[in-house]
């Protein structure tokens, strides 16, 4: 039986504060040589974009020099941009994906 004359102090709880992971942008950079179709092929293959989205992102880079492809963790951003840059190198195109921290 619990005694009513003794106050039991609740144990102090330690709050575990999880830090939000810092996010990174994958940037598609325009150039004058890579065919538009090749850019959309890479966007579809590596970033799983639909034809419509890949075309829109490619045209954004084409018109404004750069386009944000995706925002994700550093690890994923670096893996994906390396994968995409490797495809461009294999095909001998200067297409370049870069990563940068999101403000």
Residues shown for the chain: 103
Report strand pairing: 96-101 vs 66-73: unpaired
44 touching ligand TYC, by CB under 6 A = no
Segment near ligand TYC (CB under 6 A), from 2-10, 16-24, 26-34, 75-83? 26-34
Three-point CA angle 60, 67, 90, nearest 5°: 100
Among 27, 46, 58, 77, binds ligand TYC (CB under 6 A): 58
31 touching ligand TYC, by CB under 6 A = yes
Residue with tokens 């009513």: 4
Query: In the complex, which residues of this chain contact ligand TYC (CB under 6 A)?
Result: 28-32, 34-36, 39, 58, 61-62, 95
């Amino acid at each position: 039986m619990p005694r009513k004359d003794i106050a039991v102090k609740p144990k102090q709880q330690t709050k575990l504060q999880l830090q939000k992971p810092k996010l990174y942008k994958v940037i598609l950079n325009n150039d004058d040589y890579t065919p538009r179709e090749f850019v959309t092929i890479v966007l579809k293959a590596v970033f799983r974009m639909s034809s419509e989205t890949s075309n829109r992102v490619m045209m954004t880079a084409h018109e404004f020099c750069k386009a944000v492809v995706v925002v994700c963790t550093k690890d994923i951003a670096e893996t994906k941009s390396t994968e995409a840059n490797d495809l461009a190198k294999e095909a001998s195109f200067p297409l370049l994906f870069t990563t940068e921290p999101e403000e």
